């Protein structure tokens, strides 16, 4: 037991405690320096770049400084950096073959950073599926928050391949209200009513002016499209308020919004179809006489 204790003590004394202390100091100083430099660089970059680019560059600066600190600490412990770099290269190639999807997402993330179809804070829709606010743009995926406050992670490869709609790119948006009016209505009166509803709504922009587009003669109505413009931040409020004001304006002017109906017509000489009700029928149809054939004649 005494020989074992002597051996352990000799090994402890032979250990490079000075190198370990220097390595710990280098790691601590490196972590602190990485945080300070990345934050300072972020404040400077924010004056010229957007939030997306600033966030990416801050992360790059932070990880580069941390990597240099780790390499210096390993060098103090006696590790040969050349051997470590060679092993890291082999490991990277092996991981790349094993995770081709991650490599594809990484390359796609670089394309997103270079192309900048959206940035943090934008409201986007991905291929008619995920819709929400962009929370972060990382090298492998984009994190989003949907309208119902759900967290969605979308791989970068999906964003590169799919159609992405950015609702926050431009300062104004157009709202298209689809409606129909009865055939007997005067379209000039309809136009006046729609313009009055737009003028009464403070969220509608005066320029570009609201427009009315003829969509066609429908089965039960004349179909129109009423298009108005609003600021991006007021779009949802306009979408909720304008239909109510149009309905009130139509009711005040006596303009009919028809419901679907079917008209039976067989030429100019067609008169009204008689509707009769049998004495014993409660459902609006005449009871059939068993003594009559299909033509209504007595047998």
Give span(s): CATH 1.10.287.1260, the chain: 17-98
- Return the minimum-mean-pLDDT range out of 61-70, 74-83, 110-119: 74-83
Q: Which residue has the tokens 């924010």?
A: 46
Tokens of 33: 């320096």
Q: Please state which CATH class domain 172-253 belongs to.
A: alpha beta
Of 20 and 180, more confident = 180
Give span(s): CATH 2.30.30.60, the chain: 116-166
Tokens of 223: 């179909």
Give span(s): CATH 3.30.70.100, the chain: 172-253
| pLDDT of 85 | 61
Per-residue confidence band for 81, with pLDDT thresholds at 50, 70 and 90: low
The answer for residues whose C-beta is within 8 angstroms of residue 299's C-beta and 6 or more apart is: 291, 292, 293
Q: What is the mean pLDDT of residues 37-59?
A: 78
CA torsion through residues 286, 290, 291, 296, sign = positive
List alpha helices for 180-224, DSSP H: 187-200
Predicted TM-score (pTM) of the model is 0.59
Distance CA(219)–CA(25), nearest Å, equals 81
Tokens of 217: 């003669």
| pLDDT of 84 | 58
**Res 167 pLDDT > 80:** yes
Query: Which CATH architecture does the domain made up of 116-166 adopt?
Result: Roll (2.30)
**Res 51 pLDDT > 50:** yes
Distance CA(53)–CA(266), nearest Å, equals 70
In the sheet where 130-137 sits, what is the strand order? 151-155, 141-146, 130-137, 123-126, 164-166
pLDDT digits (tens, 9 = 90+) for 219-278: 889 999 999 999 999 999 999 999 999 999 999 999 999 887 666 666 666 566 666 666
**Res 144 pLDDT > 70:** yes
Q: Please state which CATH class domain 17-98 belongs to.
A: mainly alpha
Distance CA(254)–CA(241), nearest Å, equals 20
Strands 123-126 and 172-181: unpaired
Q: Which among 96, 152, 102 has a CA at the least distance from the CA of 127?
A: 152
pLDDT digits (tens, 9 = 90+) for 99-141: 567 777 778 887 887 788 888 889 999 987 889 999 988 878 8
CB atoms within 10 A of CB 173: 19
Q: Are 5 and 47 in contact (CB under 8 A)?
A: no
Q: Which residue has the tokens 């890291």?
A: 88
Tell me the β-bridge partners of 175: 228
């Amino acid at each position: 037991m005494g020989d074992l204790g002597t051996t352990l003590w000799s090994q402890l004394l032979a250990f490079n405690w000075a190198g370990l202390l220097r390595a710990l100091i280098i790691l601590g100083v490196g972590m602190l320096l990485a945080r300070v430099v990345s934050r300072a660089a972020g404040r400077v970059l924010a004056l010229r770049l957007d939030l997306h680019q600033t966030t990416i560059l801050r992360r790059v600066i932070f990880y580069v400084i941390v990597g240099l600190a780790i390499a210096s600490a390993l060098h103090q412990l006696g590790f040969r950096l050349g051997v470590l770099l060679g092993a890291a290269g082999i490991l990277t190639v092996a991981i790349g073959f094993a995770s081709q999807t991650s490599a594809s997402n990484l390359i796609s993330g670089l394309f997103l950073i270079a192309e900048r179809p959206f940035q943090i804070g934008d409201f986007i829709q991905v291929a008619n599926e995920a819709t929400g606010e962009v929370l972060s743009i990382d090298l492998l995926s984009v994190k989003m928050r949907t309208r119902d406050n759900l967290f969605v992670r979308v791989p970068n490869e999906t964003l590169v391949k799919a159609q992405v709609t950015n609702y926050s790119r431009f300062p104004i948006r157009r709202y298209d209200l689809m409606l129909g009016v009865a055939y007997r209505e005067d379209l000039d009166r309809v136009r006046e009513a729609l313009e009055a509803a737009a003028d009464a709504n403070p969220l509608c922009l005066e320029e570009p002016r609201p427009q009315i587009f003829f969509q066609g003669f429908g089965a039960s109505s004349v179909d129109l499209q009423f298009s108005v413009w609003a600021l991006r931040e007021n779009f949802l409020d306009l979408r909720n308020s304008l239909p109510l004001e149009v309905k009130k304006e139509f009711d005040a002017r006596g303009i009919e919004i028809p419901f679907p109906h079917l008209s039976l017509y067989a030429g100019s000489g067609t008169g009204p179809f008689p509707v009769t009700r049998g004495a014993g029928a409660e459902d609006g149809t005449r009871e059939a006489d068993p003594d009559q054939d299909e033509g209504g004649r007595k047998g």
